[in-house]
Amino acid sequence: MPTTQRDLVVVGASAGGVEALRELLGRLPADLPAAVLVVLHMPPGARSALPAILGRVCALPVRPARHGDPLEHGTVTVCVPDVHLIVDGDRIALARGPRENGHRPAVDVLFRSAARAAGPRVVGVVLSGALDDGAAGMIAVRARGGVGVVQDPDDAMYASMPLHAREVGGAEHVVPVAAMPELLARLLEEEVDVAEVPPPSELMETEAAMAELDGDAYDTADRPGEASGFGCPTCHGALFTITEGPMERYRCRVGHAWSPEALAQEQTQALESALWMALRGLEERAALSLHMGRRAEERGHRHSAQRFRVRHDEARDAAAQLRGLLHRGELGGSALPHAVEEG
């Protein structure tokens, strides 16, 4: 019976993730028998100080990701802004593929590529973060015989990512960050049966290729999934529904991918932007009507002045309703506390 040992640890985090990463990496031994790859969601424009921050507390060498570097046991490789961190065979690849859940680098891209390349040798770790990033990646890791670990939601600054990786992604182990090094040491020592591990699915291959901007993945007439009837918030193209295990998620023709929570959040932001544009239009309409009404009165055109006053009042009333909706924050489920609302 062929066996192997786990030797690739992929870690994903978002909000609150720096603190969790510092604690996790600060407790890892210098002789860790695995390569560690880290994705933390970050803005695209800024230079990342994450390798330096983590390197101060970690006994392992911590380096920023570079295209073509080999995977090396006993090292920590950290994502860099605005490129996906990808496992390509026994090497690291960087690619400017489509964003997933609005992020590049994205947790799901790293996890999916690791699952495709290393199968049962992978340990996927999801730390603190908002929304449901990492759940699809955890499904991919487990589908190829890897094992999932999540930060105990009660231990996380932001519990949503670990919760979804456990409940939807099916991660087997839920522990506080302080207990993760001991758990990882045990998982890396275990012998893993590889005889029953399925090969990468066609869906996994296609999505991994999209992240790498592989032309063959885009030239085919078909796209993964079924037409959803929804539009992509990034490019406004059609979204296709992908059902993978217990998770339903979405991807557009050019590859932008969305999990349910991330899509809902992005739609909320788009709707709020549209409301601000509508509010601007109403305020301008009210100001113009007031100006034109005064000019009409000055010229003795009372009928026209009355029509402009009605338009002004209608625009002001509609603007007041929009301001109230925006102020209460009801679109995103973040309504103000009752006492503040009344004040």
In the residue annotation, 41 being an active-site residue is answered as yes
In the residue annotation, 193 being an active-site residue is answered as no
User: Bridge partners of 148?
Assistant: 124
List the catalytic residue out of 41, 84, 173, 256.
Answer: 41
- Options 14, 128, 259, 289, the catalytic residue: 14
Is 291 annotated in the active site? no
- What are the CA-CA distances from residue 125 to residues 119, 221, 234 (Å)? 15, 35, 28
List, edge to edge, every strand of the sheet that includes 8-13. Answer: 62-64, 75-78, 35-40, 8-13, 122-126, 147-151, 173-175
Question: What sections of the chain are H helices per DSSP?
Answer: 17-26, 50-55, 107-118, 135-143, 160-167, 180-189, 202-211, 215-219, 260-298, 302-328, 338-342
Select from 28, 30, 48 the least CA-distant residue to 39.
Answer: 48
Catalytic option among 84, 113, 128, 133: 133
Query: DSSP 3-state assignment of 160?
Result: helix
Assign 333 to helix, strand or coil.
coil
Q: Supply the residues annotated as catalytic.
A: 14, 41, 133
